[in-house]
Amino acid sequence: MSIQELRCERQEGIALVRLNRPEKLNALSRTLIKALQDLFKQLNEEKSLRAIILTGEGPAFCAGTDLNEIAGLDVEQAIAASRRGQELCNAIENSRIPVIAAVNGIAAGGGCEVALACHIRFASAEATFSLPEIKLGIIPGYGGTQRLAREIGAGRALEIILSGRSLDAHEANQVGLVNRVCENDALLSEAAALGNEIAQLAPLAIRAALESVVRGLEMPLEQGLELETNLFAKLFASNDMREGTRAFLEKRKPVFNGT
């Protein structure tokens, strides 16, 4: 894959990842899916990173899967394609570093599913969200049927999936699909501001909070509470916990080092 199709910039603990196929509305080719998955693996190994922002170049966040690659698939190939997309979305959702989607335009099909896998979603006023696969005679295959229902409830999710209709940014905000709607020219700055806010906090606690929420949602409440207790208790062995409590008592800003 040409490196121009995926760009990554790092600055002050934040990685800005851009899908860069604007001529294809940042559609997900097989090679782009693999490259993006590999990049997330690499970013999660970088100890200096505190937040990841994912966005698209041009007028779209991501228009979904490149249809030229899936139109002629047989059943076995379709299984493999679905699993590739799900593995990418799982890698995003299971990231130890918070992932903020800055949805700058169209987020359709696989692109909407990628956004759903991110921990937090900001949308520009021009953003749209859809899972239109039903219009092609198929269903979402990268986790959309599962994540959308968990995010906004089964009834609302089914209305969107069964109709294939598109939601504008404000409707997406109303149903809880996005956290915030931003002015178009302020989208990245607002996402970066949140990333910087997170970057000032204790990395171990951030990771524990992500794990507790993401894994806990898949568990019965009793097991989720046990997971929370264990993660909570482990942090009491960290230098960051001692620094945080001392700084609070001394009325100063804490300096966390991730240990």
By mean pLDDT, which of 9-13, 83-87, 199-203, 251-255 is the weakest?
251-255
Say if residue 2's pLDDT is above 80: no
Please state, in angstroms and as integers, the Cα–Cα distance from residue 91 to each residue in 84, 103, 160, 229, following that order: 11, 19, 25, 25
Question: Given a cut of 50, is residue 1 above it in pLDDT?
Answer: no
Q: Is 119:210 a contact under the CB 8 Å cutoff?
A: yes
pLDDT per residue as tens digits for the range 17-62: 999 999 999 999 999 999 999 999 999 999 899 999 999 999 999 9
Residues tagged active-site: 113, 133
pLDDT, tens digit, for every residue of 87-139? 999 999 999 999 999 999 999 999 999 999 999 999 999 999 999 999 999 99
pLDDT over 90 at 237, yes or no: yes
Distance CA 2, CA 32 (A): 9
Residues 30 and 21: beta-carbon distance below 8 Å = no
Residues 12-19: what's their mean pLDDT? 95
pLDDT tens-digit map of 154-208: 999 999 999 999 999 999 999 999 999 999 999 999 999 999 999 999 999 999 9
Arithmetic mean of pLDDT, 216-224: 95
C-alpha distances (whole Å) from 244 to each of 119, 206, 233 are 24, 13, 15
> What integer pLDDT is reported at residue 252 of this predicted model?
87
Q: Where are the alpha helices (DSSP H) in the chain?
A: 30-44, 67-70, 75-93, 110-117, 144-152, 154-163, 169-174, 187-199, 203-216, 221-234, 239-249
- Round to whole Å and give the CA distance between 33 and 27: 10
Q: What is the pLDDT of residue 258?
A: 81
Full-model pTM: 0.94
* pLDDT tops 80 at residue 3: no
